[in-house]
Amino acid sequence: IAGELLKFATSDQLYRGSKPVMWSVVERTALAEAEIEYHDYESDTIWVKFPVQITRSEDLGGAHVVIWTTTPWTIPGNRAVAYSPRIEYGLYEVETVENDFGPRPGEKLIFAQRLAEDASAKAKLKLNLIRNVSAEELASIQLSHPFRDLGGGYDFAVPMLAGDHVTDDAGTGFVHTAPGHGREDFE
């Protein structure tokens, strides 16, 4: 075994890399991709606010980037939020709300402009567009994890990353990224 491994090493075929490894909490072992079977399951859709922690634009301080996901169990594994440089984004202020939970009047939220009206209707909010937000501004933002104030190791910065997979067909125009929950997010 050592001899064969040495052949790989001396011919530059051996390298150190990283990738997500699916783990069975029941069996306490790594799983091959062929061993992973997903059952059809329709989970709840959630909207999550990621607070802007660091920004060069003063008026984005205190704002929140809003994501929409159909995989709520992946939020604890979030490490980034993706946006698209091809989408127009806006900074909105919440004017009125119908619910006793969620965003409050005066809060500032960032959405894809094409999706803001639909998102606000679903969340039962009235939004007022303050201004456009450029891709350059989004690239310079660092967010806080939504669990930051809960403790437990969530006090790291969440970067904004440009992604070709982000669209403004549904949701908010932002995609939360949890690299420990699959190869696509990892890549």
| Residues 6+ positions from 175 with CB-CB distance below 8 Å | 67, 81, 82, 83, 163, 165, 166
**Residue 149, both tokens:** 């104030």
Per-residue pLDDT reduced to its tens digit, 34-51: 666 656 666 678 888 999
Q: What is the pLDDT of residues 72-101, one digit of tens each?
A: 888 888 888 989 999 999 999 888 778 888
Q: What percent of the chain has pLDDT over 70?
A: 83
- Give me the mean pLDDT over the 17-39 stretch: 66
Q: Could you please report the per-residue DSSP string of 94-107?
A: EEEESSSSS--TT-
What is the average pLDDT value for the chain, to the nearest integer?
A: 82
pLDDT at 86: 93
pTM (predicted TM-score): 0.75
How confident is the model over 144-185, as pLDDT tens digits?
Answer: 998 888 888 888 898 999 988 888 888 888 888 876 666 666
108 near 93, Cβ under 8 Å?
yes
Strands 108-112 and 64-69: parallel
